[in-house]
A and B are shown apart, each in its own frame.
Chain A
Amino acid sequence: MSTKSSDHDPYVRAEIAPPSGIAFPHKHLLGTWGLDPTTIQHLLDTADRYVDQNRRAQKTTPICAGLTQINLFFENSTRTLMSFEIAGKRLGMDTISMSTGTSSIKKGETLLDTAATLNAMHPDVLVMRHADSGAVKLLSEKMSCAVINAGDGRSEHPTQALLDALTIRRRKGKLHGQIIAISGDITHSRVARSNIYLLTAMGARVRLVAPPTLLPKDVDRLGVEVYTRMDEGLKDADVVMMLRLQQERMQGGFLPSLREYYQFWGLTRDKLAVAKDDVLVMHPGPMNRGVEIASDVADDFDRSAIEEQVEMGVAVRMACLDILTRNLREGGEA
């Protein structure tokens, strides 16, 4: 497609196509576990190009026009839901969003009945969030369209990990060899899990830093280094990724108080001093300021990539929607 045509076309026709010989070898995107580096690279490269497109005045492309995207969120979310909705719309898709309040699950319908109902409406992509680990996988087994996991329980949140990886890659130039400290509530975090699988697959050195009560058993077997002290875990880190303290899941007496948590595991300038000078600070949001992160660190323009992560989120989701529907259209592996 020529530059000339885009000058007159109401849509910018993106020249985004997979590099030759690479296809997404999965029907769904349920997690980053098991994704190979080439596939990840391909997703990130595609997303990279959508970042450029999103910065233009004309952001929409009709490559997915006529396709239907359903966003089914059984758990509250603002940024992820909006991000997927914007991503779909920018690709020209018809997007429909449904959250718990309007779903029939509230009326006692089972997840598989919901799947059957949705399936009958012939969507092309289903984006789903659910409070239970494995729920998205279960539903995907009954759907004929592509399913994207937008977060299930404490299991996975693959697009978050991809957008984190894209942010790091753009800032640092590479993922391989980077020392990335993920700090906070590892036990309850699907973001941590997806990041561990993706970043270790890409050759990054992943460290987990958390109080012992928020570290799940045998987590060291996932190919990560585990620390309980911030000064040790953050030492020489290239990236510090803070996690939200999931206070709604803190019923079991994991921590004595938020005040104490902040003192020992909250990210402050002092604690960050042991990391590399050009350390990148990240947070998947929403942030609890003064709990897991100090405001002056979160708002540090030079170091914080928190807003950039949100921007990358739209591009990554566009890439995922594009690639998965392309796979469908071209008869990829079912």
Chain B
Amino acid sequence: MSITAYTNARLMDPASGLDEIGTLTVEDGRILAVGAAATTTGASHIVDCKGRVLAPGLVDMRAHQVDTDAAAAGGITTVVLQPDQTTVIDTDAPVERIRRRAKDYSSVRVYPMGAATKGMHGEEIAEIGQMQEAGAVAFTDCRRAIANAQVLRRLLEYANYFGALIVQFPEEGSLAASGVAHEGEVATRLGLAGVPVEAEVIQIERDARLAEMTDSRLHFALISSAAGVEAVRAAKKRGARVTAATAPHYLHLNENAVEGYRTFAKVSPPLRTEEDRKALIDGIKDGTIDVIVSDHDPRSEDVKRLPFAQASAGISAFETLLPLALAPVHAGSLDLMTVLKAMTFTPAKLLGLSSGTLNVGANADFVIFDPAKPWRVDRSAFLSKARNTPFDTLPVQGRVWRTIVAGKPVYTGEPS
């Protein structure tokens, strides 16, 4: 088997804490050697990384479409698909179909999350065991929080038997109701129905108690507020086995982004205040928020260019994931290793995947990027199926140079 050597790279592996200039060699789709001591001996192909960062490929825990090319361009090597597809993924058949199709047609690895309840109706537990055997990596009702406490309790107990992760959307449905923006000054002025912060906090606090009661693992899909961060922090302090994620748009934008009824900034949960935005960054810093996801949700202009209340929520986010996540690093509020850990090792560990690391013998899934490279987001250049982003023309820093899956380049940016 031929060996490829990636030399002169800043090797960063949050799983082991490795951060040194060196070489990584790949043989037969797996990592053969890594570190300053690794050599190019026997390599048939040598790639000079010229000091760029070489890190595990990003493991994106929350995407609503596979969108392979866009994922690869974003440095994502593992996409976790949400169950809210045209046919809800709530049995083993669609799980198997997605896994098979992904193996045949996708350049990146794709795993689905299964629905936590049948039809995502929040009433009956879905066939978790069978879906897990077919390849589902976690279970969630996607944008619907399981409202019935007894159902969630049983679900957590049942999932625990399979060691399965339950992912809950932290939004109390009746409080969020018809809300389309953060309940506050901007929504009031624009005459938009609001989603109060309490919708998030109440759901987290109740569900964290159920996780404690059942001694189960529970992951909160998207935290958007300071109070939400605090609720997770308090639950962790009590010993609850809870984890949480957020997405870069919550780290970058606040409620002002919807001024002028900008539907490209309509997301669920909604963008909140500046204080909330800062608290989320602090949450990542102290480990309260474990994971950064893209929440990639490509939407056509047809469903975006509508009156605000009617427009779909969501951002096409694969291709901006890395540079947006790096912004707090450039601003000095987070360190690079922490950010990478939240996008590689931690999500892989939560989902029970063997990727997300540069360990010898692991899948050769990695990304090589230049963290300082300045560029401007240009939605017209997106490879994604849709270009709904509020970040168009935003100057950012950090660009993917190569994305490698199972040792094979699946995205090649500019030449060396």
| Complex contacts, B309 vs chain A, CB 8 Å | 132-134, 153
B119 → chain A, closest Cβ, in Å? 25
Are the C-beta atoms of B261 and A217 separated by less than 8 Å? no
The yes or no answer to B302 lying at the interface (CB within 8 A) is: yes
1/0 per residue A200-227: CB within 8 Å of B? 0000000000000000111101100000
Are the C-beta atoms of A134 and B307 separated by less than 8 Å? yes
Query: Chain B interface residue count: which class?
Result: 20 to 34
The yes or no answer to B42 lying at the interface (CB within 8 A) is: no
CA distance A134 to B306 in the complex (A): 9
- Which of A110, A134, A217, A218 is the one whose CB lies under 8 Å from B308? A134
- Which of A111, A138, A155, A221 is the one whose CB lies under 8 Å from B191? A155
- Which of B190, B192, B306 is the one whose CB lies under 8 Å from A138? B306
Contacts between chains A and B (CB distance < 8 A), count: 68
The yes or no answer to A256 lying at the interface (CB within 8 A) is: no
- Size of interface on A: residues with Cβ below 8 Å to B: 25
| Complex contacts, A152 vs chain B, CB 8 Å | 191
1/0 per residue B267-309: CB within 8 Å of A? 0000000000000000000000000000000000010011111
| Complex contacts, B196 vs chain A, CB 8 Å | 217
Are the C-beta atoms of A138 and B261 separated by less than 8 Å? yes
B290 → chain A, closest Cβ, in Å? 30
CA distance A258 to B187 in the complex (A): 27
- Which of B184, B192, B310 is the one whose CB lies under 8 Å from A218? B184
| Complex contacts, A153 vs chain B, CB 8 Å | 191-192, 307, 309
A116 → chain B, closest Cβ, in Å? 12
CA distance A218 to B196 in the complex (A): 11
* Closest partner residue, chain A, to B309 (CB atom): A132
* Closest partner residue, chain A, to B197 (CB atom): A217
CA distance A217 to B273 in the complex (A): 13
- Residue from B187, B196, B260, B306 with most neighbouring chain A CB atoms (10 Å): B306
CA distance A300 to B183 in the complex (A): 39
* Closest partner residue, chain A, to B273 (CB atom): A218
* Closest partner residue, chain B, to A197 (CB atom): B189
The yes or no answer to B22 lying at the interface (CB within 8 A) is: no
CA distance A206 to B310 in the complex (A): 32
CA distance A153 to B185 in the complex (A): 17
CA distance A217 to B199 in the complex (A): 14
| Complex contacts, A252 vs chain B, CB 8 Å | 177
CA distance A292 to B8 in the complex (A): 76
Are the C-beta atoms of B191 and A154 separated by less than 8 Å? yes
- Contacts A132-B307, A155-B190 given; 20 further ones with Cβ under 8 A? A33-B189, A110-B302, A110-B305, A133-B192, A133-B308, A134-B190, A134-B307, A137-B260, A137-B261, A138-B307, A153-B191, A154-B192, A155-B192, A156-B191, A190-B191, A193-B189, A216-B194, A217-B187, A217-B194, A218-B188
